[in-house]
Amino acid sequence: MALSDRKKALTQALQDSEALVRAAASRALDRVEGMERLQNIFEAASSGEKPHRIRAIHFLGFLNTAESVDRMLSLLQDPEPDIRVAGVKAVQIHLPERALVPLLGALEDPEISVVQVVIETLSHYQDPRITEFLVPFLIGPDTDTACIAAEALGRNGDPKAESHLVTVLQGATDPFLRTRTAEALGNLRPNT
């Protein structure tokens, strides 16, 4: 079925008697029209004014095609930190499995705001292998990043993080970090 045929069916569904169907058709139509204009969206994500680039990047995340994921991941190398952050945030929409390794590499980014959003994004993968990559940020020198890492470890739920969280809970001087580690401990899955 060609994209034009999909658009036609979805346009007809916008007239459905059920609001849920109309809403789903509207979202799907946005996606199909985006796929038709994928090259324009790629260009908008790659150059131009920052607000327009960021909007295009978020739309790439919404599209979640192989090409859009490739483009989002390529933006992890952009010289502008805000664009790298937008690329990571766009990955959060669908969490494609093939983004995991590039995101782990982005933990080495020199910009702390990029690292923080990568930590948060990685936690949504619910993959216990991520724990070993997040723990160094929990015990690192930056308290804000340590708080984000504690939340991420709790969201990830891997019980292997327990001893590190307990150590920080008992030894950290910052009350916000202790709060985050306490909450994270409560969110860990039981040891099996």
Q: Domain limits of the chain?
A: 22-109, 126-192
Please, what is the Cα angle at 14 between 13 and 20, to 5 degrees? 85
Fold match between domain 22-109 and domain 126-192? yes
d(CA 117, CA 45): 19
> What is the CATH superfamily name and number for domain 126-192?
Leucine-rich Repeat Variant (1.25.10.10)
User: pTM of the full predicted structure?
Assistant: 0.85
pLDDT at residue 65 is higher than 90: no
Q: Euclidean distance between the first and final Cα of the chain, in Å? A: 48
Going by C-alpha positions, the residue among 118, 50, 115, 63 that lies closest to residue 94 is 63
pLDDT at residue 192 is higher than 90: no
- The class level of CATH for 22-109 reads mainly alpha
pLDDT at residue 143 is higher than 80: yes
* Confidence at 167, pLDDT banded by 50, 70, 90: very high
Report CA-CA distances (Å) from 112 to 32, 36, 84, 96, 118: 36, 36, 11, 23, 10
Average pLDDT, the chain: 93
